[in-house]
Amino acid sequence: MSLLTATAIVACALSVSVTACAQETREFNIPAGGLGEALNAFASQSDQQIFFTADLVTDLSTGGLRGRHLPRGALDRLLAGTGLTWAETRPGVIYIRRGESTPRTAEAVAVEDVVVTGTLLKTSGELASPVLVLSRGDLDARGLGTVADTLAALPQNYAGAANPGASLALADQNGGNTSLATGVNLRGLGADATLVLVNGRRVAGSGSRGELADVSALPSAAVERVDVLLDGASALYGSDAVAGVVNIIMRRSFEGQESRLRLGAVRGSGEDIIASHLAGRTWSSGAAFISYEYQRTNSLNSLDRDYTRDADLRPFGGSDRRAVFSAPGNIVAFDAVSKAYVSRWAIRPGASGTATSPADLAANTANLTSQLLGVDLWPDVERHSLYGRVRQSLGDRLELSADVRFSRRSFGFDNGATVSILSVNRNNPFFVSPSGATSHTIAYSFFEDLGATRRKGVSRSVGVTGGATYDLGAGWTMDGYLAFAEERGGTTTYGRVNSLFLNEALGTAADNPATDYRASRDGYFNPFGGGGANNATVLAFIGSGYGGTVNRTRASSANFLASGSVLELPGGPLELAFGGQARSETFRTRSLTWASTVLPVSVVTPVRERDIAGLFAEARIPIVGEANARPGLRRLELSIAGRIERYDDFGTTSNPKIGLVWPPAAALTLRTSYGTSFRAPALTQLYDRSGVSVTTVPRADGANVLALYRSGGNPDLEPETAETWTLGFDYVRPAGLRFSVNAFETRFSNRISQPVAENVSGVLTNPSVAPFVTLVDPGNNAADLALVRTFTTLPTFTQGALYPDTAFGAILDARWVNATSVDVRGLDLTLAYPLEIGGDRLTFDVSGSYILDYDMQTTVAAPNLSVVGVVGYPVRLRSRAGLSWSHADLGADVHWNHVAAYEDGVGDTVEAWDTADLQLSWAPAGGAFAGLRLALTVLNLFDADPPFYNGAVGFGFDPGQANPLGRSVALQLIKRW
């Protein structure tokens, strides 16, 4: 009620303003087809209200429109030859009517052609590759808070990586998303295999390896549209465009002001507020605008959902995922057979809160606790984003432009508590032995003593570009621009246990003269209690540890592109575009850790740099056109593109692309494409410093094995390569039906991966990763003990005091290698069918992605496995279908989202997940509230829980295919001033 009341007050205040509808030049991309559908596209792309009756446009069609136009001139062109005209009753409110004599004469000409994603050419024409376009109207109709949320929900995107939810639920085995960015992971080939552009230009990478483009850093209100190229495109854009390209097109200009407010909430917590304002001005030779957006999101804790509250999943039909690291703890012993710690006695404190005698120790049983108790499933977020753009024409031929974007996103979340194996002896006054031994090993969780650790971070993104476009004459133009982008992310985890201080507090080690702590004076740490048996001084001392990392990525480039018509062929003009690029990338990281030493340890990694030079070209060859058309062969176009790039660290790569477009009938267009793509190794994948940490992995019998986990770069890595094919058609009826089908295949070779990191839970049972696993028995084998000590004695190994060297049962090599090959085949489908019934407009739409095959070979020695429909990979089918209705000022939108059933990796089925979304909107065309849009959006209308998944980490859902948010309610207000 508070949210509704606040929004109503703001709505009343904003409605006092009178709408001043913009008449700035706009980018239009309206395909040929039915006039009714074209007019609705015009309304969306011009941000204006347009009204007409169904009978007025029945059987009328238009040739479409593409380029930069004034809205009134664009509308004249769409209506040319139809006998219809238009009138503007008030700014931004347009009515279509029959003309009295002849249609109006166009008042404006195209200012500039649109640069279409998927081609370097600026002229109109169908593309050989499929492109999904999300207009400004589409983004608003989805009802999601940001463009990042909309992209994450696409059927072609796999959400098991590169988003905050996957990272916090430990589903993202890649582990590089330290700044909790939101990327795009088309086809599930990895976020680093999808190239993200802003206005066709690269952004700096985010995360610990700088390979993830953060789409959440942009102010969504300043976005004009989003193009998703569902095809490899390294021939056009260079590295990373393996699975596809996401090009976020920002508004080019704006006249007036626009305010937005969105308030949302979910059950338990997760409240979200987004407020933005955009102001701009246009003049005869240019334009300028600036947009600011603020977002504040509250965290959602695992204790707020039944299926994540406790790792004992047996009530849901799963397994007990709790471990012996608990409080009260367990006296454990290392079992040589199982290679794991097993509980011999469970500590059961009496009324005093601590075990005081052997009677308080229960033999052959265990205290069990979730290792992720109380962690957050979604972080606290506060974001400030800014985008500005200015352009100015100098004479008739030269236009200068510049834009700047800035984002600062701070975040925090509760992370897992410290768990450890403690060595305790009789020096500790709380020591109790059930067997008369002088020392014991205790598996312990510090959750009850110190709570969850807390991780905080800040991600800062900056981008600046400046460019010029010059009309060379004879249909040729030249574009050039300079660009700079930087991404800086830092995170620090607080509340960690310092193992050196812990051993001092336990009495295992003598008092350290370098510390102010004295166990005899300040107290010993009591591991025989239930978590409340230690005083504040002791807890502050042992819990003073922390660890933090700062990563900085920079990308700068100089670019030029010339395009125009070369000669006239029988089928039409041969168009050519060519250009070059010089690009520089740098990455640096530094860390500060206080986990096992008296003073913090700082590590600075040398700055890694890379220089790239590239040349590229594209040609469109009209084989058949209007002049030489024949029945069944109205038009036939061939497109050819190629790119050569030289990297100073691993050499030269070249990639071609070829496409063919054939419309055999007016309503039908067939298309196909073939190309190769590549992804250069990330700088950190090549040069990242080696490190060793500790993890536990399950054996086939379910027992956990303590393992050493090796990580680091590999300077011998080679680029990933891919071959991509597409084949599809677009069917557009004059009445408005649009139906598209696209078949695709991507063969991904030499893929850079960490086979161990991607399969940690099955590393001891999956034979395909056996080459990266070394089983050891250091308690009984001197050679194995020596091998273990080569890692535990490294200066960078900070967990040495937590575990004895004889406790480890395996050494896992998780360094980067060129290991994996992937072959993905599938179908994409989109359908939209608008209807006019009286004064009501209905639109039925369907979109989906069906994966036929997802075959993967983890290593050369491994078998080729089909992983489609297996947890951690895309499901067979993701789809969205629904109906939109509008009548005068009112609108309603209801959609059904479907995620197909799949397997959990051991043969059990994870059921399908079906949810419904609803949006109700009011956008009055006239009166005091003109220019206002009010929308109520309910996501997951029926509050459907995600299907149960017997997750190894103890969460009963799969973050790759579902989310734990439940029903989400949001109220959004948009006001044009």
Mean pLDDT of 58-69: 71
Q: Given this model, what pLDDT does residue 68 score?
A: 66
Give the tens place of pLDDT for each residue, 95-142: 787 764 333 333 333 334 455 788 998 765 688 999 998 988 888 888
Among 87-96, 740-749, 824-833, which is the least confidently predicted range? 87-96
Q: Given this model, what pLDDT does residue 7 score?
A: 39
Q: Given this model, what pLDDT does residue 682 score?
A: 86
Q: Given this model, what pLDDT does residue 124 score?
A: 56
Q: Given this model, what pLDDT does residue 452 score?
A: 95
Q: Given this model, what pLDDT does residue 869 score?
A: 93
Structure tokens belonging to residue 161: 């990586």
Tell me the residue type at 551.
N
Q: Given this model, what pLDDT does residue 919 score?
A: 96
- pLDDT at 4 > cutoff 80: no
- pLDDT at 492 > cutoff 70: yes
Structure tokens belonging to residue 215: 């789409």
Average pLDDT value for the chain? 87
Are residues 133 and 227 in contact, defined by beta-carbon separation less than 8 angstroms?
Answer: yes
Q: Where residue 89 falls among pLDDT bands split at 50, 70, 90?
A: very low
Structure tokens belonging to residue 945: 């829980």
Residue 227 has phi, psi (to 5 degrees) of -105, 130
Mean pLDDT of 697-711: 82
Q: What Rg do the C-alpha atoms of the chain give, in angstroms? A: 31
First-to-last alpha carbon distance for the chain, in angstroms, is 27
Q: Given this model, what pLDDT does residue 905 score?
A: 79
Q: Given this model, what pLDDT does residue 108 score?
A: 32
Give the tens place of pLDDT for each residue, 883-926: 999 998 899 999 999 999 999 978 899 999 999 999 999 998 77
For 223, 611, 887, the CA distances from 138, given in Å and listed in that order, are: 11, 39, 18
Q: Given this model, what pLDDT does residue 11 score?
A: 40
Q: Given this model, what pLDDT does residue 21 score?
A: 35
Q: Given this model, what pLDDT does residue 689 score?
A: 77
Q: Given this model, what pLDDT does residue 802 score?
A: 62
pTM for this one?
Answer: 0.84
Q: Which of 943, 946, 945, 940 is nearest to 960 (CA)?
A: 946
Mean pLDDT of 344-350: 95
CB atoms within 10 A of CB 157: 27
Which among 43-47, 142-146, 784-788 has the top mean pLDDT? 784-788
**How far is the C-alpha of 818 from the C-alpha of 754, rounded, in Å?**
9
Mean pLDDT of 207-218: 82
Q: Given this model, what pLDDT does residue 18 score?
A: 31
Mean pLDDT of 932-945: 95
Place of tokens 């030779």: 285
Count each helix (H run) and each strand (E run) in the chain, helices first: 15, 48
Q: Given this model, what pLDDT does residue 644 score?
A: 97
- DSSP-derived pairing of the beta strands 330-335 and 300-301: unpaired
**Size (the chain), residues:** 977
Are residues 920 and 892 in contact, defined by beta-carbon separation less than 8 angstroms?
Answer: yes
Q: Is the Cα dihedral 457, 165, 305, 697 positive or negative?
A: negative
- pLDDT at 761 > cutoff 80: no
Give the tens place of pLDDT for each residue, 620-663: 999 998 888 888 888 899 999 999 999 998 789 999 999 999 99
Q: What is the secondary structure of 877-905 as a DSSP string?
A: EEEEEEEEEEETTEEEEEEEEEE--EE-S
**How far is the C-alpha of 409 from the C-alpha of 406, rounded, in Å?**
10
Q: Where residue 767 falls among pLDDT bands split at 50, 70, 90?
A: confident
Rounded to the nearest 10 degrees, how much is the dihedral formed by the CA atoms of 434, 438, 439, 440? -20
- pLDDT at 574 > cutoff 90: yes
Please name every residue paired with 645 in a beta bridge, in sequence order, or none if there are none.
Answer: 614, 653
Give the tens place of pLDDT for each residue, 376-387: 999 999 999 999
- pLDDT at 782 > cutoff 80: yes
Mean pLDDT of 728-737: 85
For 42, 178, 389, 625, the CA distances from 816, given in Å and listed in that order, are: 49, 18, 40, 51
Q: Given this model, what pLDDT does residue 67 score?
A: 66
Q: Given this model, what pLDDT does residue 58 score?
A: 66
Q: Where residue 87 falls among pLDDT bands split at 50, 70, 90?
A: confident
Structure tokens belonging to residue 557: 């480039």
Mean pLDDT of 722-731: 95
Among 75-84, 140-149, 703-712, which is the least confidently predicted range? 75-84
Please name every residue paired with 490 in a beta bridge, in sequence order, or none if there are none.
Answer: 458, 550
Q: Given this model, what pLDDT does residue 109 score?
A: 33
Q: Given this model, what pLDDT does residue 447 score?
A: 95
Distance of CA 556 to the CA centre of its chain: 23
Q: What angle do CA 105, 108, 114 make, to 5 degrees?
A: 130
Q: Given this model, what pLDDT does residue 53 score?
A: 67
Rounded to the nearest 10 degrees, how much is the dihedral formed by the CA atoms of 85, 87, 93, 96? -30
Q: Given this model, what pLDDT does residue 92 score?
A: 60
Cis-peptide into 959, omega within 30 deg: no
Contacts of 646 (CB under 8 A, 6+ apart): 612, 613, 614, 652
Q: What is the secondary structure of 478-520 as a DSSP string?
A: EEEEEEEEEEEEEEEEEEE--HHHHHHHHTSSPPPTTSS--HH
Q: Given this model, what pLDDT does residue 642 score?
A: 97
Are residues 656 and 676 in contact, defined by beta-carbon separation less than 8 angstroms?
Answer: yes
What percentage of residues in the chain have a pLDDT greater than 70? 92
Residue predicted with more confidence, 779 or 913: 913
Question: String of b and e for 75-97 (b: at least 16 CB within 10 Å)?
Answer: bbbbbeebebbbebeebbbbebe
Contacts of 371 (CB under 8 A, 6+ apart): 311, 322, 323, 325, 416, 419, 445, 953, 954
- E-strand ranges in 718-805 read 720-732, 738-753, 773-775
Structure tokens belonging to residue 32: 């040929």
Among 217-231, 671-685, 799-813, which is the least confidently predicted range? 799-813
- pLDDT at 365 > cutoff 50: yes
Question: String of b and e for 558-581 (b: at least 16 CB within 10 Å)?
Answer: ebebbbbbeeeeebbbebbbebbb
CB atoms within 10 A of CB 429: 11
Q: Given this model, what pLDDT does residue 666 score?
A: 83
Relative orientation angle of helices 71-79 and 35-46, to the nearest 10 degrees: 180
Give the tens place of pLDDT for each residue, 453-464: 999 999 999 999
Q: Given this model, what pLDDT does residue 754 score?
A: 82
**How far is the C-alpha of 639 from the C-alpha of 635, rounded, in Å?**
13
Residue 614 has phi, psi (to 5 degrees) of -140, 150
